[in-house]
Amino acid sequence: MLNRVVLVGRLTRDPELRFTPSGVAVANFTLAVNRTFTNQQGEREADFINCIVWRKQAENVANYLKKGSLAGVDGRVQTRSYDNNEGKRVFVTEIVAENVQFLEPKNSQRVNQGVGASNETYGGAPADGYGHSNQGGTPNANGTRSAGYANDPFSQEGSIDISDDDLPF
């Protein structure tokens, strides 16, 4: 059924790049989209919209976008649920970006540094329903733009709770 979203906004912080157990890249980011109208106090509010993007585009996002970057997203609305650490079901609505357009002028774009550019929350399962992490070893030691430890044999240590079934293709 028809399900289409188009957004233009700015990243509220650096994107987070992770990998599924089978090595597929996923990036998460939040877009601040300023409203075109003002509220009753005359202020222009914003919507803070969570986005997720897969594979090569995920790596591009991680490498070329950072906090404050202007970006366009073409995708679809997705809902999912997971049980949080208190055993409560949490419902999530987010945008799965199928196409991300970088809208920063060329000269303002810098390739992100490997270390720290995509900051995995080490140690302990993140509370967002994704379990991907990049535990142990030398994370992204290879540096450069694309994601080395996708091939890291140690990446499976500890638990992971995302399986390939979660991939949207």
Contact of residue 68 among a second copy, DNA, none (CB under 5-8 Å per partner type): DNA
CA distance 61 to 96: 13
Nearer to a second copy, 67 or 76 (CB): 76
How many CB atoms sit inside 10 A of residue 8's CB? 13
Nearer to DNA, 47 or 157 (CB): 47
Buried b (16+ CB within 10 A) or exposed e, 58-76: bbbbbbbbbeebbbebebe
Where in 49-108 is the site for a second copy (CB under 8 A)? 49-50, 70, 72, 74, 76-79, 93-95, 99, 101, 103, 105, 108
Total residues in contact with a second copy, by rule CB under 8 A: 41
Q: Which of 8, 22, 55, 68 binds DNA (CB under 7 A)?
A: 68
> Among the candidate windows 16-24, 38-46, 134-142, 148-156, which touches a second copy by CB under 8 A?
38-46
Counting beta carbons within 10 angstroms of the beta carbon of residue 126, is it exposed (0 to 12), middle (13 to 18) or buried (19 or more)? middle
Buried b (16+ CB within 10 A) or exposed e, 86-118: eeeeeeeebbbbeebeeebeeeeeeebebeebb
Which positions lie near a second copy, rule CB under 8 A? 1-9, 33-37, 39-41, 47-50, 70, 72, 74, 76-79, 93-95, 99, 101, 103, 105, 108, 164-165, 167-169
